[in-house]
Chains A and B, each alone.
Chain A
Amino acid sequence: MREITLSQAVNEALAEEMRRDETVFIIGEDVAEAGTPFKVLSGLVEEFGTERVVDTPISEPGFMGLAVGAAMTGTRPVVDLMFGDFIYLIMDQLCNQAAKTHYMSGGKMSAPLVLRTNMGATRRSAAQHSQSLHALVAHIPGLKVAMPSSAYEAKGLMKTAIRDNNPVVIFEDKLMYNDKAPVPEEEFLIPFGEANIKRSGADITLIGTSSMVQVCEAAAEILAREGIDAEVIDPRTIVPLDEETLIASAKKTSRVIVVDEGHQNYGITGEIAGRINEKAFYHLDAPVLRLGAMDVPVPFSPALEDITVPTPESVAENARKLMSGEMIHAA
């Protein structure tokens, strides 16, 4: 199978959907000729023109609000938010307007839009350009949240997102744009709410989102050499969340670590751990561990930035603790 980068996969997904449905359009800063600073959208304006690949002024609330109105009246915008950190700027339009349109209208109106943005630290972009804020929007009823972990997921989830009639937020890890993965040439969609078991194992479950999937896989390799057989699961979408797969795995292995690049406190890791606690409690032989990014603003200095995120070593170390039965916190 051919291998393409995550950037190419997103580009392909958008191009295919825009060909398929002429109401789909892209709007955001520097999306046309520039193809965004990450060059993910290069070439699209040449094929679809500036009416459908729309450059905007630096007005995040403005073009997000515009996208909501457009979605409510018959078009399907894909909003490009240059950095996930800017999500704070658009919260009213995304969470008060888009997320609630269908509900507040008693099901009579809807806002089928996609918000395409990114996450991920260790790029030395410092505190305001390195955040992973998916937990903020996952918390809001009415929004769906997808987190592709490779080029394959990026393409399949994007196509599903564009066809979904609800507002969908997709977070791509900005560090992965040049990472290649096998992606079929034939059309395929990845449904929301379906987790992917990337590695089957018997001793401990590692649940990872986005680039943390690769971190968990690397940790599993380390652990395998020590005789510990780890299962690695990629939820792919956190709203809707494939609880069934996660719970079944927790019951099978009786030990779970949830790894996510959002801050550890009040985030994805706590939510998933909480659900596993509720639904697999009597099958747990160890506490469910949360492993998120350190609860500090992302520091600039490389020496500091790199220790704020989970790594294969930190995941493996925590796995060893769970296997040994060591108390994570003294009584």
Chain B
Amino acid sequence: MPHEVIMPALGMAQDTGRIVNWLKAAGDPVKVGDALFEVETDKATMEVESPADGFLTDITAQEGADVPVGNVIAYVSETAAGGSSEATVSPETTTHESAANTQASLPEGKAVIMPALGMAQDTGVIVSWHKALGDKVAATDILFEVETDKATMEVEAGSDGYVAALLAEETEAAPVGETIAIISPTPPADPVQRSIASSGTVTAAPVPAPVSEEKAHSKDKIASEKATEAVTAKPMVQPVGSRILASPKARRLALEQGLDLKNLVDAGRPQPFHVADIEFLKGMPKQETGKAEVQSRHITAEVRGQGFAEFVDWAIENAGLAGERTALAGFAGASLKQEQPVVSIESFGQRHTYFVSAGPLKNVVLGDDDTTPDLIVRDLRMSHLNKIQLGAEETPVLTLTSAADSLIITLECAGQQLAADKALQLLSEFAGRMEQPLRHLL
């Protein structure tokens, strides 16, 4: 009996979880309690354990996918072969379950599609079908009426034949271009009647669009039962231009809490946004800000004299200094005023990364090159370059270049990496140390 592996509830505000990575692969043997995958929550990455002994099979969600809480994403089966066929939920899909097989059982014939209705319309509400399943139709017969923002439009069948399939029901909204009926050349043996809601297509928003104002009253009672069972998710509304539709309260809460509604748009959340969406927004992982939007800092300092070179020579001889890079790392690390900074020195096409602890330069220890540094010192003194403006990178960079009798030090970083005062302090102190290294030691 296969056990379901489900996306667990992650916290009050979270409706979906993003799979960070699978820790086991399909077919792997697993035991109860083994970590199967990692999911990202608003607080941290969480490991999800296996519910049973067996083999991990039928994985239906990949790394990077956002899966609704409660959805089954894999099974722990008795054998490595598992049960149902594997289908994937791509990272782009946000709200619906994986697509079932819908196309296989449709009759052959000419497809009738929802026509383009106007510049701003992506879906059309089918007001009424003028023909029934099995009816004979001529190409110019009116097959259905669709509601546009201006009036109701009649759409012709388009080909002679018989109505073999109706794939949307009255009052449903079908996307422009979607096949909503099939006209077969001969009377259909197995006519197909479907609604968009039941077919579960991934691309369509499977909800009837709101009934228009003039019909609201008269149809209210008649349509109320239909409406209640059909509404499961909000209709996808296309904003006009870049305008985001949100309720006044949602906007105010977003403003008060420093949240950006655009993140909801990017996440594909349907508009208009309401207070419930603000909760969702709070639970979303922090977005990386585009580099282009962030201000970068560029500060230079000039240090005269050969103080640093002389010091290095002396220290290697007399103080057990491992090398010049160690000194650079030590000085840079001390100037950053951070606990245990990691400083990388880039020189001659190579990078060496150092862990800098407080205290004498002996506490500057070479580490793994893989470690992400807090600060990079780019040593270009031997090159002909003197003025550097490369723009902010992922880490603050102190670039050393030569000019006549002095050393130019350029600090570049992103605004959010170092506050203005911190940036100034870093460069000032480093420059100070480079000018009079002995001060550092005393």
Contacts and interface: CB of A to CB of B under 8 A. Distances in A.
Interface residues of B, number: 30
Contacts of A286: 247, 274
B118 interface: no
Contacts of A285: 247-250, 274-275
Contacts of B235: 326-327
A331 interface: yes
Contacts of A317: 220, 224, 227-228
B286 interface: no
B237 A327 contact: yes
A180 interface: no
Contact of A314 (B209, B213, B220, B274): B220
Interface string A42-77: 000000000000000000000000000000000000
A126 interface: no
A331 B245 contact: yes
Interface stretch (A30-38, A206-214, A276-284): A276-284
Interface string A316-331: 0100110011111111
B240 A331 contact: yes
Interface string A260-288: 00000000000000000000011111100
A7 interface: no
B221 A313 contact: yes
Contacts of B213: 329
A74 B275 CA distance: 58
Given A254-B249, A284-B248, A330 B221 contact: no
Nearest to B246: A285
B217 A283 contact: no
A308 B149 CA distance: 26
A326 B234 contact: yes
Nearest to A281: B248
A282 B210 contact: no
B237 A330 contact: yes
Nearest to A316: B224
A307 interface: yes
A325 B234 contact: yes
B251 to A, nearest CB: 8
B239 A331 contact: yes
B252 interface: yes
B247 A307 contact: no
B109 interface: no
A294 B217 contact: yes
B249 A283 contact: yes
B249 A284 contact: yes
Interface residues of A, number: 24
Interface string B188-217: 000000000000000000000110110001
Summarize A's interface: helix, strand, loop or mixed. loop
A286 B276 CA distance: 12
B249 A331 contact: no
Interface in B218-272: 218, 220-221, 224, 227-228, 231, 234-235, 237-240, 245, 247-252, 272
Contacts of B252: 282-283
B240 to A, nearest CB: 7
Given A282-B249, A283-B248, A325 B240 contact: no
A327 B251 CA distance: 16
Contacts of A284: 247-249
Nearest to B251: A282
Nearest to B237: A331
B149 A254 contact: no
A307 B239 CA distance: 35
Given A313-B224, A329-B210, A324 B239 contact: no
A10 B149 CA distance: 51
Interface in B121-177: 149
Of B218, B239, B248, B250, most A-chain CB atoms within 10 Å: B248
Contacts of B274: 285-286, 325
Contacts of B250: 285
A282 B248 contact: yes
Contact of A320 (B149, B228, B240, B251): B228
Nearest to A251: B249
A53 to B, nearest CB: 42
A308 B220 CA distance: 11
Contacts of A329: 210, 213
* Shortest Cβ-Cβ A-B pairs, 3 listed: A285-B249, A285-B247, A282-B252
29 contacts: A254-B247, A254-B275, A282-B248, A283-B252, A284-B247, A285-B249, A285-B275, A286-B274, A307-B217, A307-B221, A308-B217, A311-B221, A313-B221, A314-B220, A314-B221, A317-B220, A317-B224, A317-B228, A320-B231, A321-B227, A321-B231, A326-B210, A326-B234, A326-B235, A327-B234, A327-B235, A327-B237, A327-B272, A331-B239
Interface of B: 149, 209-210, 212-213, 217-218, 220-221, 224, 227-228, 231, 234-235, 237-240, 245, 247-252, 272, 274-276
